[in-house]
Structure 1
């Protein structure tokens, strides 16, 4: 008889739909706090200690402006290159059945598989003055490693797959008849790509 009230008072917890949810949520929140929130709050705390005059002096310092110019300039150039060539690569992969198409399709995903640090080290090694590609470019007076050109190449390498994999499914949904209709109406290939696709 004593076991019935004890069992009535004891409530069994329903098992979670996602096993280990509490543990993974705790780990994720701890990681977020240690890696992102604490450094970000330190940055805000340090910036708040500055007055407006000091903040403006740092924001308009020549080194800060050069860093922003290189960052935004190289990102803009890489974005333009990625949009143009990523669209062309996606179009070729969707519309043409050429030999080696599967290899090209797999090579597009290579930057996804490589960690960014490994990609950076590999690109620096290739484009360094004694690297495979750098050796060929040095006699022409072109230095790539540790220059804005090298940053653009790295950003293109990392960003091109994002453009291709975003545009490719959309191009697969567009019927080939739409392109053929535009061609029969007198549109050039450039007009078909820019206006139809």
Structure 2
């Protein structure tokens, strides 16, 4: 009886699971396996020479550090935006809520050109910052701003539903017992939204690592300074150096996968701690 009840509760489970695994293999696993297979055709000496080149190492640093900085900024301000959209009512709220999704709909090349035009030395904002000695376009700062622009929706849309479903009774009880707002947020609200916030951070970080269209214009593409790893991959593809391109992509894939594993581990640990509390 129990077995038939389970089958009724999950009709077609075996067939749907088979399609799920097949779909993931075709869309995710097989393309990633192609990266490993193509790179395996290189000799070990050529592989090390390709990925350990000073120019490639500098591009890795630019890509990963700017993506990390942008994801951190988005984690803070994305939480703030989600909080305002959920907890307050004000004129134009629907418009602001719609604008959050604009980086999703806007082509990345358009975003890159627009940001470069604004932050260039002769741009609307760049011309105001230039006399202060602050250069944005064609610097790592400009890359970070571009990644903040395209990564903000990931944090907002991940945290926003959790804040909407959060029960306010506990908060009100804490306030009635004399807890300060900061303590209420730190002890009651933040543990509930921390897993979602980490998820948004991870999504923004992953998107930033592989971002190309919105970054390639504002970065300036100066080797050893503002050149990003995806641009090196494109350069090697244009030179028909497919093995070299996949070697660089493989390093980015492995580092990104390790970073996401660490973030998922922290997320699961926070979730268990919150549940047990």
Q: Do both proteins adopt the same fold according to a TM-score greater than 0.5, normalized to the shorter chain?
A: yes
Distance (Å, rounded) in 1 between the aligned partners of 2:78 and 2:35: 39
Partner in structure 2 of residue 188 of structure 1: 180
Partner in structure 1 of residue 83 of structure 2: 91
Shift, 1:125, TM fit:
0.8
Structure possessing the higher relative contact order (Cα contacts under 8 Å, 6 or more residues apart): 2
Count residues with an aligned counterpart.
161
Partner in structure 2 of residue 72 of structure 1: 64
Pick one of 81, 100, 110 that aligns with 2:73: 81
Unaligned ranges ≥5, structure 1: 1-31
- 1:121 has 2:113 as partner: yes
Distance (Å, rounded) in 2 between the aligned partners of 1:154 and 1:113: 15
Shift, 1:43, TM fit:
8.5
Shift, 1:41, TM fit:
4.8
When the two structures are superposed, what TM-score results if normalisation uses the length of structure 2? 0.53
Backbone CA RMSD of aligned residues: 2.3
Distance (Å, rounded) in 2 between the aligned partners of 1:156 and 1:133: 17
Distance (Å, rounded) in 2 between the aligned partners of 1:157 and 1:149: 12
- 1:56 has 2:48 as partner: yes
Shift, 1:165, TM fit:
1.1
- 1:176 has 2:168 as partner: yes
Shift, 1:42, TM fit:
8.3
Shift, 1:57, TM fit:
2.0
Give the secondary-structure state (helix, strand or coil) at the position aligned to 1:132.
coil
1:1-197 → structure 2 map (5 Å cutoff) = 41=34, 44-45=37-38, 47-197=39-189
Distance (Å, rounded) in 2 between the aligned partners of 1:178 and 1:114: 40
Unaligned ranges ≥5, structure 2: 1-26, 190-277
